[in-house]
Chain A
């Protein structure tokens, strides 16, 4: 892997640059999910906390959802944007452009792992022990990074070719977010919505993540298989699409 040092630099840059001009710097990575969770907790805990199945805690439930959804949504947009925004480099120096999309996904993954520290604290406050299955969160994280990188590669071509595709994807991500049980339990939905949510891949990743982290959900074999299929397919399709359309797209940069 000739490009490993470059990937490391890129991940590093993405992690540090976002908060470079702020006082607490990378501390925002810890604080961001906490603040978002606090707001949503204040708004929704009255309505939904009591509707969770027995033994599950709303605090960790909510924060796990926010953490994972941030990783997916933000990671995907950054990954898809990374190639266009580095167009200046890519039209002058040869580096495999895929590296930028992969680095963005890896930066998202790192943020995701960092965010698990405050999540552990929230579990502790809620009196919920971490689960013995904790190491499996790495599997979920890596599978989700594959999904982000794969979709990001496909979208990056689209983003360069069509200006408005970015807005369309943004709206779709918003819809997807509401179809993901981040702050509500699935049981509050009617049966039609429940089956739609069932087929939302992000819901599968989230269900497994909540279970693996602090035993705060009950995933089925379907969730495991379904998310694996999505990750692998997205990666295969992304690399294929990118290879196929990049030669014609690079001319537009």
Chain B
């Protein structure tokens, strides 16, 4: 059963040449007949599926469309053409801590971040001390986030994001945050989440991680699928390229 089904997804950005970010410039350009619209294709006819329990890696150079694809899967970027269907609760592990606010306390931020991810807030409230403890910031949970060091913020974000098992996991780079000790701890937790039966889409430049974690891989080049198949085959072809 495919949990993620991406069919012929196209993403086209309409870009105004001689980019006018203001109404004034747009008006001026329109009068002079200089406003030209070009279509920038970020994704072109991308199709693949991910089954329950399967780990699919997305490979490709910078600008190949990997992050755009993750945004489509997360549901934040509607495809220009085609469809993207994802069933179940999504945990987007993309730039953790989006939505954290420096003036709110650690505990408040945990609650808010969890609410954004659509979690049950009653459970989260009970879990908050454990989340803080796992991140190693128990003593600071009642203080505003601006008093945290950046490492502490990253640890709290990671601890919150990975606290609940979701059906779908979208991972942008296997995240390792904090000091050496925490990196080992977070890497272990990440691998445990990935291997615990969720459908996982993994974007990574670390080919060793892809080989060891992924079942299949999709190689993106300039927005289209260059190769799709068994993870080690695709990685071999990608590295030979």
Contacts and interface: CB of A to CB of B under 8 A. Distances in A.
Interface stretch (B19-27, B176-184, B197-205): B19-27
A13 B74 CA distance: 25
A17 B101 contact: yes
A127 interface: no
A94 B22 contact: no
B69 to A, nearest CB: 13
A250 B77 contact: yes
B63 to A, nearest CB: 15
Contacts of B71: 91-92
Interface stretch (B48-56, B88-96, B209-217): B88-96
B3 interface: no
Given A13-B112, A17-B103, A162 B74 contact: no
Contacts of B21: 161-163
Contacts of B94: 92
Contact of A90 (B76, B95, B101): B76
B121 A93 contact: no
B104 A17 contact: yes
A13 B115 CA distance: 13
Interface string B1-19: 0000000000101100000
A92 B23 contact: no
A16 B49 CA distance: 45
Interface string A3-35: 001100100010001001100000000000000
A86 B101 CA distance: 11
A93 B103 contact: no
A6 B113 CA distance: 10
Contact of A13 (B77, B104, B121): B104
Nearest to B79: A247
Interface in A205-253: 247-248, 250-251
B99 A88 contact: yes
A89 B103 CA distance: 17
Contact of A5 (B13, B95, B115): B115
Contacts of B104: 13, 17
B229 interface: no
B129 interface: no
A101 to B, nearest CB: 16
B136 interface: no
Contact of B116 (A91, A93, A161, A247): A93
Interface string A155-167: 0000001111100
Contacts of B75: 94
Given A9-B112, A94-B75, A250-B77, A164 B98 contact: no
Interface size class of B (residues with CB under 8 A): 20 to 34
A168 B22 CA distance: 11
Given A91-B76, A94-B75, A162-B26, A248 B95 contact: no
A141 B154 CA distance: 41
A164 B23 contact: yes
A164 B101 contact: no
B76 A248 contact: no
A121 interface: no
A6 B111 CA distance: 9
B103 to A, nearest CB: 5
A92 B76 contact: yes
B82 interface: no
A117 interface: no
Given A9-B115, A92-B92, A92-B95, A248 B101 contact: no
Contacts of B13: 251
Contacts of B24: 164
B118 A92 contact: no
A95 interface: yes
Residue with the greatest number of chain A CB neighbours at <10 A, chosen from B80, B94, B99: B99
Contacts of A89: 98-99, 116
B26 A93 contact: no
A5 B116 CA distance: 10
B47 to A, nearest CB: 20
Contacts of A164: 22-24
B30 interface: no
B68 to A, nearest CB: 9
Contacts of A5: 115, 121
Instruction: Pick the 10 closest A-B CB pairs, nearest first.
Output: A94-B75, A164-B22, A89-B99, A247-B78, A6-B115, A162-B23, A92-B98, A92-B94, A89-B98, A88-B98
Given A2-B118, A251-B11, 7 more contacts: A13-B112, A88-B99, A93-B76, A94-B74, A163-B21, A247-B80, A250-B78
